[in-house]
Every structure is written in structure tokens, then in C-alpha cells.
Chain A
Amino acid sequence: MKTKKAIIDSLGGNAKENGYYLCPDAQLFNDLIDGLAANNTRYGYGSCPCRVASGVKKYDVDIICPCEYRDADVDEFGMCYCGMFVNEKIKKNPSQLGPIPERRPPEIMDAALAAVDTKQSISIKSSVQAKLKKNTPSIVVWRCSVCGYLCARELPPPICPICKAKAERFEEFVLS
């Protein structure tokens, strides 16, 4: 079992590495950590405390914290879906924390619940189709001009997780 301290240390390290901050609302932060710990205990993995999980890992992998949608949500709204990760602006103005739209396509959860219900495995085709509905039409590859680190996301990361260069040092990477 993962202790709360271990969860906080791991998320804190991840936030620091990626130029994010952990939830600035102390009460909410505590509740989210409790939720993650509870999910860890009952599912064996820390799925997002603010999303319903199927309980079957292969259908829930995209919402294991930090979730697949975090970077795009912090880019667009300054915070991830549950508020565990925020940008500098929201860290300084915690009152701006609030509900943001769900980026995860509801079809993924529909398919997962249906599979759990009928004890059948989702065909690879249907889970891939669900994933294709994600709102990530054409992802750009960004290159850190300092160390060469590459990442694929809508906007460059706030800092390079490898060499800590700032977002302004990233450029679009195009194979020619």
C-alpha cells in the first residue's frame, strides 16, 4: 500500500520536474490525496479521485494520476481536471481553481463499464476508436533547443523536464 506521504512526494517531484505546482487549496489538496490513497487501496493504482474508474487497470490507464489529459488542461485552463496540478498563475490565485470541462471522451468510460458489466474484453478496435475521439487533432512535436529533449503536446512545457530550460527555448520540431 502506498502511504499518503509517498504519494505526495511522488506527485511533488513530478510537478517540480515538469514546471507545475501542486494544488494550492490546502483542504482540496488533502481531500485529493485521500482520494488517491483510497483508489490506490481499492484498485491497486491511483486513478483520478474526481473521475469514476472501471476498476480494471487497462481501461483506466489514461486517468492514473498524473493523467494523460493533464498537460493539455494545464495549458488551456491553468489546472488539471481535479486540480492536483496547477500552473504558476493559479498557484498565486487559488480562488481561480474551479470546475473545468472534461477532456476525456465519455466513450472510453462507456466502453469500460460495458466490458466490466458483461465480463467481456473490449476489442482493441473499440478502445482505439474511443481514443481517436480525444480532442488532440494534430499534436505538435516540440524540441528543447538547449538539450534536444522532444515532447509531443499542444504547447511547449513550462520548463524542460531534463535541463530545466524555459518554454521560450522550445521550438517546433519538423522532420525535413
Chain B
Amino acid sequence: MTVKCATVSGKNKKHHVKIYTLSTCGWCKKTKELLKALDVEYEYIDVDKLTGNDINDAYEEVKKYNEFRTFPTIVIDNGKHVIFGFKDKEIKEKLR
């Protein structure tokens, strides 16, 4: 089952962007701030804030895209492109 995620609205909706993050992680925070600065609309799941089965479900989702299961995992257009970690140049380039 797909875990519910929050949406942050933005003017740039060229790509579907979904990020898997941890609420405590400084790099995840940088990623959210960058997307905000680029005015990109995105969905996010703070995996550490989930409870019960949702944690495992979200973790399995991350695993599908990222064998290392690391955060942030940035999924663009449903997996057409996946970025592991706060690679700001790559994020900017892919979401231009």
C-alpha cells in the first residue's frame, strides 16, 4: 500500500517529484529548502515520523528506488530518475 504523503505546492510542476526524508536529517532539510527555492511542487514523506506498518511500507518503497535505503531519496517522475542524497547540482539540472 502506498503511504500517504504531504504535498508542498510550487509553481514548477513540470515533473512529479517525491522525496523520502527524515525529519531529523540536515541533508533532507537542505533538499526541501532547495526544492522550495526552485519553486518546485513536491511530495514528501518523513519516514521517521510514521508509525506501525507505515514505516515498513515506506521503507519498502524507498528500497524499490534505492538499494541503499538512504535519505533523502529523490524520486522524479515515478522513478524515471532517482537521486540519492543532497546532490544539489544534479537536482537543479534534472528539475530545470
Binding site for B on A (CB under 8 A): 27-29, 31-32, 34-36, 38-39, 49-53, 82-83, 98-99, 101-102, 106, 109, 113, 117
- Taking the closest CB of chain A, its distance from the CB of B29, in whole angstroms, is 5
Taking chain A's interface residues, is the majority helix, strand, or loop, or is none over half, making it mixed?
helix
Given A50-B27, A52-B22 in contact, is the A102-B87 Cβ separation under 8 Å?
Answer: no
Tier of interface size on chain B: 20 to 34
- Taking the closest CB of chain B, its distance from the CB of A134, in whole angstroms, is 14
Q: A117-B53, A117-B56 are in contact. List 7 more A-B contacts (CB 8 A).
A: A28-B26, A29-B26, A38-B24, A50-B28, A51-B71, A82-B25, A101-B68
Binding site for A on B (CB under 8 A): 22-30, 47-48, 53, 55-56, 59, 67-71, 84-87
A-B contact pairs, 30 of them (CB 8 A): A28-B30, A29-B26, A35-B22, A35-B24, A36-B24, A38-B24, A49-B22, A50-B22, A50-B24, A51-B22, A51-B70, A51-B71, A53-B48, A98-B85, A98-B86, A98-B87, A99-B27, A99-B85, A99-B86, A99-B87, A101-B68, A102-B69, A102-B70, A106-B68, A109-B59, A113-B55, A113-B56, A113-B59, A117-B53, A117-B56
